[in-house]
Amino acid sequence: MPLLYETARKGATINEAEIGMIVDKLKPQISGEVRMDKYNRLMYSTDASMYQMTPIGVVIPRTADDVEAAIRIAKEHGVPVMPRGGGTALAGQTTNHAIIIDFSKYMRNIVEVSPEERWAKVQPGIVNNHLSAAVRNHGLMYGPDPVTSARATIGGGIGNNSCGPHSVIYGKTLDHILEVDAILSDGSRVHFAPTTGSLLEDKMSENTLEGAIYRETRRLAWENSAEIEQRFPKILRRVMGYNLDDFMGEGPMNLTRAVVGSEGTLVAVT
């Protein structure tokens, strides 16, 4: 597996011939859209920030199968991928020399709502306000309310650990996401949820990328627990960096809490 800087450099220096090869592999495997022309690459080179980075191209998935295919093909060519929601972030989080995976067009549905248990299962491209509107008749709402909630997506909020002006009451995204389905960098699918007991032991012992993630997350948290305890700020709206402080104990692990705030660097949430 190439090192991170090698993948980033490949994304920035890839030539048109290899982009054409990637297109030829993507199109038969993607039920959504593959946009690798210069016009669409220019359109996706910016977000709501002042930054601009021309992507390798754009995949607009209809299904998780599309996302998996895009990630596997990107891995074959050693280039990065960049999950994208509404593109409303102000720090360039969705600009990169990468294959952009835009969830906002097709993967924006509400899959299931349980008013009694107060949860909803949704796809990452759904807009925050659309989810709140759909559950309003049940007396419910989605808590995080950034000023861009009319365009920002749940998936983008997971990446940024978004909050909003009412976060002191309703909390930030980390306080609202219970479980995630996601795809790892090798194209394997995972479901992250509270995991304990024999199930956690099984996960920790797996000879897979997922198993390595469980082991390394706990190791990093344990080995650096003193520094984490000393240096992580004790504030309500801490949204920067990985949430390693959630994994310092010996109890259950929910890697959902590592995904929230990771800005697309760890998984693609589906």
pLDDT grade for 32, boundaries at 50, 70 and 90: very high
Shared domain for 162 and 136, answered yes or no, is yes
In this prediction, residue 118 carries a pLDDT of: 97
Identity of the highest mean pLDDT range in 10-19, 84-93, 114-123, 245-254:
114-123
Specify the number of domains making up the chain: 3
Residues 197 and 219 in one domain: yes
Regarding whether 78 and 37 lie in a shared domain, the answer is: yes
The pLDDT assigned to 241 comes to: 83
Q: Is 46 helix (H, G, I), strand (E, B) or coil?
A: strand
Query: Is the pLDDT assigned to residue 171 strictly greater than 90?
Result: yes
Q: 3-state DSSP: the chain helix, strand, coil percent, rounded to 5? A: 40, 15, 45
Q: What is the pLDDT of residue 105?
A: 98
In three-state secondary structure terms, 125 is coil
Do 187 and 117 touch, CB atoms closer than 8 A?
no
Q: Is 182 helix (H, G, I), strand (E, B) or coil?
A: strand
Q: How many beta carbons lie within 10 A of that of residue 256, not counting itself?
A: 22
Q: Are residues 10 and 89 in the same domain?
A: yes
Please state the rounded mean pLDDT for residues 31-55: 96
Asked if residue 5 has pLDDT above 80, the reply is no
User: And the tokens for 13?
Assistant: 């220096």
Same domain, 154 and 199: no
As a whole number of angstroms, the distance between CA 177 and CA 256 comes to 7
Residues 29, 79: one domain? yes
Query: Does residue 127 sit in the same domain as residue 211?
Result: no
In total, the chain counts a number of residues equal to 270
Cβ–Cβ under 8 Å, residues 251 and 196 = yes
Are residues 140 and 55 part of one domain? no
Q: Choose the final residue of a domain: 102, 122, 138.
A: 102
Measured CA to CA, the distance from residue 92 to residue 137 in angstroms comes to: 36
Task: Please check whether residues 92 and 160 belong to one and the same domain.
Answer: no
What are the backbone dihedrals phi and psi of residue 122, each rounded to the nearest 5 degrees, phi first?
-135, 165
Q: Are 200 and 253 in contact (CB under 8 A)?
A: yes
Nearest to 57 by CA among 18, 108, 28: 18
Tokens coding 112 = 């299931």
Domain of 46, CATH number, reads 3.30.43.10
CATH number at residue 168: 3.30.465.10
Do 77 and 146 lie in a common domain? no
Give the H/E segment covering residue 81: strand 81-84
pLDDT band at 192 (very low <50, low <70, confident <90, very high): very high
State which of 139, 155, 175 marks the end of a domain. Answer: 175
Residue range(s) defining the domain that contains residue 75: 4-102
56-91 residue pLDDT tens: 999 999 999 999 999 999 999 999 999 999 999 899
Q: Are both 206 and 140 inside the same structural domain?
A: no
Last residue of a domain, one of 121, 155, 175: 175
**Band of the pLDDT at 234, cuts 50, 70, 90?**
confident
- My answer on whether 134 and 202 are in the same domain is no
Q: Please say if the pLDDT value at position 108 is more than 70.
A: yes
